[in-house]
Structure 1
Amino acid sequence: MNSNLLWRAGSCYAAVGIMAGAFGAHGLKSRGIAPESIASFQTASHYTVFNGLALLLLSLHPRFSVHRFAGPAIAAGTFLFSGSIFALVLNRDRFKFLGPVTPMGGLLMIAGYVSMAL
């Protein structure tokens, strides 16, 4: 993954996270979603924004913008973690198979960050 792709992924994640946060704060209550689920949706939104910003910073770093594992792991982990939560909150019955995907996405994000420290 090159720095240009990391920059684009980070920009998209930041934008999606902000939009999801706004939808979670205003659109979910009218759909009769439980407050606990709305809180989960907000958590996923926050992680999407934070990791989007991290990818933007990563794309600017001379060493880590070309790291073979860190950027792709953070990007994929964010997609799996936040995406599975978004899907589960919006339609748990249809997407209940995604339940185990959430922690795998979280582990992938963690692995991406830890790989930069090694």
Structure 2
Amino acid sequence: MTAVNPLNRQTIRWALALGALAGLLAVMTGAFGAHGLRGVVSARGLDVFETAVSYQMYHAIVLVAASLMPTVGLPRRLLVVACGFWLAGIVLFSGSLYLLVLSGTHWLGPVTPIGGVCFMIGWVLLIIAALKKEQR
């Protein structure tokens, strides 16, 4: 196993902490949706809310996984940027869907695809990081 320098340890901590926070919030939000919104919003609204929770959890998990990737030699800078895009995706994609369902405000609809694009950019950056050697 490669030794982790202090700069990588810092990257590991913030990605791990934010991924864990996003996961915790996804569980809490999912429980709220399952128990607090049934009968309050339409079945379609519940489906949209569940989609937001699912995508938030998927990306919380990848943030936690990404926090460990510098230890196996993946380029830290690309991972940092990818994590930033995944966090933006959580806020823009899942956040806009939560607000759409809870407030009924439809002007948020165009924000959701921007969050989806952020998710995709993060994944593309991970592909690039996986194929690139770490510069030491």
Normalising by structure 1, we get a TM-score of: 0.90
Alignment partner of 2:41: what SS? Answer: coil
Q: Does 1:83 align with 2:95?
A: yes
Aligned equivalents of 2:91 and 2:77: distance in 1? 20
Normalising by structure 2, we get a TM-score of: 0.78
What is the root-mean-square deviation of aligned Cα atoms in Å? 1.6
Consecutive unaligned residues in structure 2, runs of 5 or more:
1-9, 129-136
Tell me which amino acid in the other structure corresponds to 1:17: A
Amino-acid identity (%)? 34
Quote how far apart the aligned CAs of 1:83 are: 0.5
Quote how far apart the aligned CAs of 1:9 are: 1.0
Aligned equivalents of 1:66 and 1:17: distance in 2? 27
Aligned equivalents of 1:21 and 1:107: distance in 2? 23
Quote how far apart the aligned CAs of 1:98 are: 1.6
Cα 1:18/1:65, change in 2 over 3 Å: farther
The number of equivalent residue pairs is 115
Q: Does 1:109 align with 2:104?
A: no
Q: Does 1:25 align with 2:34?
A: yes
Consecutive unaligned residues in structure 1, runs of 5 or more:
none
Alignment partner of 1:33: what SS? Answer: coil
Tell me which amino acid in the other structure corresponds to 2:13: N
